[in-house]
């Protein structure tokens, strides 16, 4: 090697808002171990609610976020096929700001009517956040004043991933989880603040909407909610926890939600109030991938129109009722920290050393639940993540709970 080459620069990463050495280092160890132990990397066909692997093992999925089972609803599937035939194309590739099929507009008007809001669609919630958050950071979506961007410590990776892009537009900080005192301090110090938080957390719990509404009233705080986990499963016409409980329905609240979980289709909804046509155009033209990448395709639009129709009628209420009954049945048998919550996710506490083995035994008995353990969660908080759905039968839930008890899950305190 010549001396010239040895003098070439070595880069020291700034790692101010992200760190792949840590993320990949920590995450890969978790995934490698999960795959080696047979509780990840599973391939299976879906047939009438039962999954079947190539070698014939059958199991019920208890880690699927389609909480109302609308993803396999015959009307939703038919809606996708009908729309594909009706529009004659899956996607006519050109930015919607130039030329668009009426498909997205039809869906946005349907969802807008459903939830009494202005709705803009995106291909996914992740894409919506990656596009919207930097526009909020620069003040272009808002009142023109650059806000301090406060990301809740536990906010979903799809929002946390936008920190570096926001940091090039404004100041970015990470706050304690639901730390309202700290947030109020920021509100006192800064002209404008935007708080970025999940409406419902993927390990349980809801955002403190009422306390946030007080800060919104007092300081003009802007709150960006990602309510992906509770839309459809919660609230009248499936409007989600945030829209059902948040009194601030104007430009101080922006809510997004995936349509891929309980809504049962594909894509995402950006739910706005009080933002006029000008802001809608700014979003369509400048919100990252929303402006240059593919929109929801016509099959996803058709499926979503059909799901929206179901949301308007008594079937949604019945499905929410069945989901709640299944959650209550599970809580009557197994004790978890989340017991009693209307939220469909439970983490069954397990020992760090035995959690994977427990997950494997549950899988062998015919149920998939996902083991979470250090380093993905803190030491001492390992567990089996269970998601209840409307379509699971009483018998399936009872059998699962029997197996869970056999592998060491704590029985419900009130159980006989
Ligand atoms: C599942 C989830 C997402 C991902 O939604 P996509 O539409 O698939 O991008 C984003 N945010 C939260 C809070 C989620 O739970």
Going from the Cα of 228 to the center of ligand 1, the distance in angstroms, rounded, reads 6
Q: What is the pLDDT, as a whole number, of residue 376?
A: 76
Atom of ligand 1 nearest to the CA of 123: 7
Is the same domain home to 225 and 364? no
74-87 helix and 298-312 helix, angle to the nearest 10 degrees = 140
Instruction: Judge if the beta carbon of residue 204 lies within 6 A of ligand 1.
Output: no
Tokens linked to 5: 């080459």
The candidate with the shortest Cα–Cα distance to 270, out of 261, 402, 284, 262, is: 284
Instruction: Judge if the beta carbon of residue 126 lies within 6 A of ligand 1.
Output: yes
Is the same domain home to 165 and 58? no
Give the whole-angstrom CA distance, residue 31 versus residue 67. 25
Atom of ligand 1 nearest to the CA of 200: 13
Is the same domain home to 90 and 62? no
Instruction: Judge if the beta carbon of residue 243 lies within 6 A of ligand 1.
Output: no
Is the same domain home to 233 and 286? yes
Is the same domain home to 140 and 37? no
Is the same domain home to 111 and 24? no
Q: In terms of residue numbers, what domain contains 140? A: 74-311
Site of tokens 């499936």? 238
DSSP string, 231-280: TTTSSGGG-HHHHHH----STTEEEEEESSSTT-SSSEEEEESS--HHHH
Going from the Cα of 203 to the center of ligand 1, the distance in angstroms, rounded, reads 13
DSSP string, 327-345: HHHHHHHB--TTTT-SSSE
Give the whole-angstrom CA distance, residue 48 versus residue 66. 14
Whether residue 260 contacts residue 229, with contact meaning beta carbons closer than 8 Å, is answered with no
Most ligand 1 atoms within 8 A of CB, residue of 158, 242, 344 to mutate:
158
Q: What is the pLDDT, as a whole number, of residue 416?
A: 47
Instruction: Judge if the beta carbon of residue 158 lies within 6 A of ligand 1.
Output: yes
Is the same domain home to 22 and 168? no
CATH number of the domain that 125 lies in?
3.40.640.10
Whole-angstrom CA distances from 218 to 188, 192, 211, 248 are 10, 12, 11, 12
Cα 271-228-23 angle, rounded to 5 deg? 125
Give the whole-angstrom CA distance, residue 146 versus residue 71. 40
Name the stretches of the chain with pLDDT < 70: 1-5, 203, 414-416
Is the same domain home to 394 and 303? no
Is the same domain home to 344 and 286? no
3-state SS, 9-48, equals CCCCCCCCCCCHHHHHHHHHHHHHHHHHCCCCCCCEEEEC
Q: What is the pLDDT, as a whole number, of residue 53?
A: 97
Q: Is position 414 within any domain?
A: no
Give the whole-angstrom CA distance, residue 413 versus residue 410. 8
Whether residue 281 contacts residue 251, with contact meaning beta carbons closer than 8 Å, is answered with no
CATH number of the domain that 388 lies in?
3.90.1150.10
Whether residue 336 contacts residue 401, with contact meaning beta carbons closer than 8 Å, is answered with no
Whether residue 79 contacts residue 302, with contact meaning beta carbons closer than 8 Å, is answered with yes
Q: Is position 329 within any domain?
A: yes
DSSP string, 40-70: SS--EEEETTEEEETT--EEEESS---TT-G
Give the whole-angstrom CA distance, residue 333 versus residue 400. 10
Work out whether strand 268-272 and strand 253-258 pair parallel, antiparallel, or are unpaired.
antiparallel
The candidate with the shortest Cα–Cα distance to 241, out of 254, 259, 253, 228, is: 228
> Which residue, by CA, sits nearest to atom 12 of ligand 1?
228
Which of 282, 311, 340 delimits the end of a domain?
Answer: 311
Number of domains in the chain: 2
Q: Is position 374 within any domain?
A: yes
Is the same domain home to 226 and 343? no
Instruction: Estimate the share of the chain in helix, then strand, then coil, as percent rounded to the nearest 5.
Output: 40, 15, 40
Tokens linked to 222: 């802007």
Q: What is the pLDDT, as a whole number, of residue 172?
A: 98
Is the same domain home to 139 and 27? no
Which of 283, 311, 339 delimits the end of a domain?
Answer: 311
Going from the Cα of 344 to the center of ligand 1, the distance in angstroms, rounded, reads 15
Q: What is the pLDDT, as a whole number, of residue 27?
A: 84
The 10 Å Cβ neighbour count of residue 391 is 21
Most ligand 1 atoms within 8 A of CB, residue of 207, 228, 387 to mutate:
228
Give the whole-angstrom CA distance, residue 347 versus residue 85. 43
Is the same domain home to 145 and 81? yes
Atom of ligand 1 nearest to the CA of 261: 1
Instruction: Judge if the beta carbon of residue 201 lies within 6 A of ligand 1.
Output: no
Q: Is position 413 within any domain?
A: no
Q: Is position 396 within any domain?
A: yes
Q: Is position 229 within any domain?
A: yes
Give the whole-angstrom CA distance, residue 151 versus residue 272. 20
Instruction: Give the alpha-carbon dihedral of 268, 273, 277, 279, to 10 degrees.
Output: -70
Atom of ligand 1 nearest to the CA of 226: 13
Q: Is position 411 within any domain?
A: no
Instruction: Judge if the beta carbon of residue 198 lies within 6 A of ligand 1.
Output: yes
Q: What is the pLDDT, as a whole number, of residue 388?
A: 97
Going from the Cα of 4 to the center of ligand 1, the distance in angstroms, rounded, reads 48
Which of 280, 311, 342 delimits the end of a domain?
Answer: 311
Instruction: Judge if the beta carbon of residue 386 lies within 6 A of ligand 1.
Output: no
Q: What is the pLDDT, as a whole number, of residue 1?
A: 54
Q: Is position 84 within any domain?
A: yes
């Amino acid at each position: 090697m010549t001396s010239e080459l040895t003098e070439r620069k070595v880069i020291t990463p700034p790692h101010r808002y992200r760190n792949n050495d840590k993320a990949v280092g920590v995450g890969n160890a978790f995934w490698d171990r999960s795959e080696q132990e047979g509780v990840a990397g599973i391939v299976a066909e879906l047939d009438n609610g039962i999954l079947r692997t190539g070698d014939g093992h059958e199991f019920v999925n208890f880690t699927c976020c389609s909480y109302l089972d609308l993803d396999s609803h015959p009307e939703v599937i038919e809606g996708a096929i009908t729309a594909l035939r009706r529009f004659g194309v899956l996607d006519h590739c050109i930015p919607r700001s130039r030329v668009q099929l009426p498909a997205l507009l039809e869906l946005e008007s349907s969802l807008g009517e459903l939830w009494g809001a202005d709705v803009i669609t995106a291909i996914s919630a992740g894409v919506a956040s990656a596009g919207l958050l930097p526009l909020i950071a620069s003040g272009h979506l808002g009142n023109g004043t650059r806000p301090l961007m406060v990301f809740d410590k536990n906010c979903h990776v799809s929002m946390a991933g936008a920190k570096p892009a926001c940091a090039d537009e404004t100041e970015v900080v990470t706050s304690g989880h639901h730390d309202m005192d700290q947030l109020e301090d920021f509100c006192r110090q800064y002209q404008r603040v935007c708080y970025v938080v999940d409406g419902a957390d993927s390990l349980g719990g809801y955002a403190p909407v009422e306390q946030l509404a007080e800060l919104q009233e007092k300081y003009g705080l802007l709150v960006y909610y990602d309510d992906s986990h509770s839309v459809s499963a919660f609230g009248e016409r499936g409007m989600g926890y945030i829209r059902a409980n948040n009194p601030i329905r104007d430009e101080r609240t922006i809510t997004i939600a995936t349509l891929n979980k309980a809504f049962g289709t594909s894509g995402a909804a950006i739910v706005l109030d009080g933002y006029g046509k000008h802001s809608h155009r700014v979003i369509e033209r400048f919100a990252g991938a929303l402006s240059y990448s593919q929109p929801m395709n016509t099959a996803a639009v058709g499926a979503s129109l059909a799901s929206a129709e179901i949301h308007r009628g008594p079937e949604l209420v019945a499905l929410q009722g069945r989901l709640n009954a299944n959650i209550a049945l599970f809580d009557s048998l197994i004790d978890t920290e989340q017991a009693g919550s209307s939220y469909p996710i439970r983490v069954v506490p397990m020992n760090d050393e035995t959690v994977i083995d427990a997950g494997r035994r549950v899988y062998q008995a015919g149920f998939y639940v996902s083991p979470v353990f250090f380093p993905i969660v803190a030491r001492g908080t390992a567990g089996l993540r269970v998601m209840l759905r409307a379509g699971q039968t009483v018998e399936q839930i009872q059998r699962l709970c029997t197996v869970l008890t056999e592998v060491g899950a704590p029985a419900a305190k009130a159980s006989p």
